[in-house]
Amino acid sequence: MGNSVVEIFDGFEERANLYMLALGGPSTGKTQSHKNCVTEPILHNLETKTGAELVIEDATSKGLFNFYIRSKNRVALCAIDECHEWFKTVVGYKSASSAPSMKRLLQCYDGSHWYESKGNTNKRMGVPSAALALSCFTQPNAFLRLVMPKLVSNSNGLLDRFLVCLSSAKSAPISNHRIKKLSRSRHLFIKPRSTVVIIQQIYATPLIINRRIEREREI
């Protein structure tokens, strides 16, 4: 994935990992986009890979931990189609869950350390930094009805860390008029050249809003 840390401003660095959630109704191209951009490129290069192992489908807590052990300081990329089922295990709908917990996803967003005890011994194994990039795709109704209330009620900040993308105002069955209006704003749909541009855009947005409010107050 390239550099795992990018310099946003002078003296300020940020890990190059984002949590992205794409919400789109049926026939909006979610599954095909996942196939074209994630599954096929990896499958095509499985036999010619070099370096660390490529993991295809193991979005479990154990699978992620093993990936970090093998790949050292690399950022894991996890792309999940129809992610509402995966999220149902994350937020606790299913008691016997193998998916990472909400606490672990918060830690992986920040690139925190991850150590676990080795068997029944006092020895511990792990990595000083475990950063994760998430790309999730699902339908709005499934996510907003089943998963969203759990994320909101926990108030742990996990939901705030997701960059949410809507396919379009017409196809997304969301009743909130303000969200539909925002989805039509052209400035929300940029074509970034790198992760640096995305993160700079995220950090710059509050500054732009604050300046706009100050100008309105002056008027």
- What pLDDT, in 10s, does the model give residues 51-106? 555 555 557 888 888 888 887 777 888 888 888 888 888 887 766 557 788 899 99
Residue at 47 is within a domain: yes
Residue at 175 is within a domain: yes
Q: Is the pLDDT of residue 119 over 80?
A: no
Residue at 171 is within a domain: yes
pLDDT of residue 107: 92
pLDDT of residue 56: 55
Q: Which residue has the higher pLDDT, 44 or 63?
A: 63
What are the tens digits of pLDDT across the range 144-184? Answer: 888 888 888 888 888 888 888 877 645 444 444 444 444 44
Lowest mean pLDDT among 98-102, 120-124, 139-143, 200-204: 200-204
Residue at 79 is within a domain: yes
Residue with tokens 């996803």: 105
Q: Calculate the average pLDDT of the chain.
A: 71
Residue numbers of the domain that contains 86: 19-204
Residue at 5 is within a domain: no
Q: Based on the structure, what is the number of domains in the chain?
A: 1
Percent pLDDT > 70 in the chain is: 60
Continuous segment of H or E residues that includes residue 21: strand 19-23
Q: What is the CA radius of gyration of the chain?
A: 19
Residue at 6 is within a domain: no
Task: Decide if 132 contacts 75 (C-beta within 8 A).
Answer: yes
Three-class SS of residue 94? coil
139-148 burial, b if ≥16 CB within 10 A, otherwise e?
bbebbbebbb
Residue at 154 is within a domain: yes
Residue at 214 is within a domain: no
Angle at 200 between CA 217 and CA 219, to 5 degrees: 10
